[in-house]
Structure 1
Amino acid sequence: MLRIGDIANQAGVSTRSLRYYEEKGLLASERSSTGQRTYSESAVERVQLIQQFFTAGLPSRTILQLLPCVESGLATDEVFEVLEAERDRITAAMADLSAARDALDRMIDIARHPTPEHCPALREPGYAHAQAG
C-alpha cells in the first residue's frame, strides 16, 4: 500500500488533486489505523489515466462514466457516443474562442488605426484643429 504523498510523487500530481479525485469518485483509498489514506499500487496508473482524460478536456463526471469501460476493457456504443459528444463540445468551444480572438483582433486594429467611423472623439470639431496646429 502507498501513502498519498507517494502516489502524488509517482503520478506527478498534487495531493490536493488526489483528494479531489476521491471526492468525485474517480479514485478510492483506504484508511490506515492512524487515519492516513493508503492506495494500491495500481493507483499510480489510474491517476495517470485520469490526468490523460483531463488533458483531453473531459470533465470529471464524464471520466467517471468512462472508467468502468477502461477497467473492463470493453467499450460500448454509449462510451463512443459520450466521447464523440465531448469532442463536439470541445470543437464548438474552439469555434467560439476563434470568433472571440477574431473580434479582439478587429478591436486591436481599430485601436491602432482609429478612424472617425469607430472613434467618436475623432468626429469632434476640435480634433481637426488640434491636429492642424
Structure 2
Amino acid sequence: MTSLSEDAGLRRLRLVPRSGSYASLGAAMREFGLTARALRYYEEVGLIEADRDRLNCRRYDERAMERLRLIAQFRRAGLDVRDIRLILERREQAGGETYVDCAVARLEERLAVIEAERRQIEEALALLGERRTEQAPAEAPPRTAAAILRQSRPGRQAAAR
C-alpha cells in the first residue's frame, strides 16, 4: 500500500487495502444524496480524500464518510464550501466545542440572511397585493360556467346560433 505523498511535485495514489471498511463512490452518493460530480469536487478542493482501489475507483474510508456526512448536512443547510472548510478545519484542530461553536455561528448567520430575504419577499407580496386591489374592477358581473365555456371556445358560439 502506498500513501498519499508529494514526490518531486507528483501526487501518488493511496491504494486501498483488501481489509477494512470502505464505501464506493456509488454507495457514498446513495447514502448522502450527493452527485458523483459533487463528490469529485469536494475531493478536488480538499474537503475529503478518496483512496483508490486497483482499478483506480474511488473508495471512501470511515473518516471520509464522516466528513461527507457533515458536508452534505451543511450544504443542505445552505452553507458554502468556504464555511464548510472552516468548520472542518476547526474540527480537525481543536475538536469538540470549537467546531460546534463555529458551525452554530455560521448557521445562525445563514438563518439571519434567510429571514431578511423572507421579509423582503413578504414586502414585495404586500405591495403586489395592494396593486392588485387597486387594479381590480369595481364591480364585475357574476359569470356562469356556461359563459366561461362560451368565451374560451369562440368557434362554438357561432355553431350554437
Larger Rg: 2
1:62 aligns with 2:83: yes
Q: Number of residue pairs matched? A: 114
**Aligned residue type for 2:76:** T
Following TM superposition, by how much is the alpha carbon of 1:46 offset from its aligned partner in structure 2, in angstroms?
2.1
CA distance in structure 1 between the partners assigned to 2:90 and 2:97 by the alignment:
6
Amino acid at match of 1:94: E
Given the alignment, which residue of 50, 73, 77 partners 2:95? 73
1:2 aligned to which of 20, 23, 45? 23
- Give deviations 1:54-102, integer Å, cap 9, x for gaps: 23332111111111333452444x9746753652354144213312321
Relative to structure 1, is the Cα distance of residues 10 and 108 closer, same or farther in structure 2, using a 3 angstrom cutoff? Answer: same
TM-score by length of 1: 0.65
- After TM superposition, the structure 1 = structure 2 runs for residues 1-133 of structure 1, keeping only pairs within 5 Å, are 1-71=22-92, 72-76=94-98, 80=101, 83-84=104-105, 87-114=108-135
CA shift at 1:110, angstroms? Answer: 1.0
The alignment partner of 2:59 has SS state of strand
- Quote the RMSD (CA, aligned, Å): 2.8
* TM-score (norm. length: structure 2): 0.56
> 5+ unaligned residues in a row in structure 2: which ranges?
1-21, 137-161
Higher helix share: 1
| Structure having greater relative contact order (Cα 8 Å, sep ≥ 6) | 1
Separation in structure 2 between the aligned mates of residue 89 and residue 6 of structure 1, nearest angstrom: 30
- Give the letter for the 1:45 counterpart: E
**Stretches of structure 1 lacking an aligned partner (at least 5 in a row):** 116-133
Structure 1 residue 38: Cα displacement:
1.6
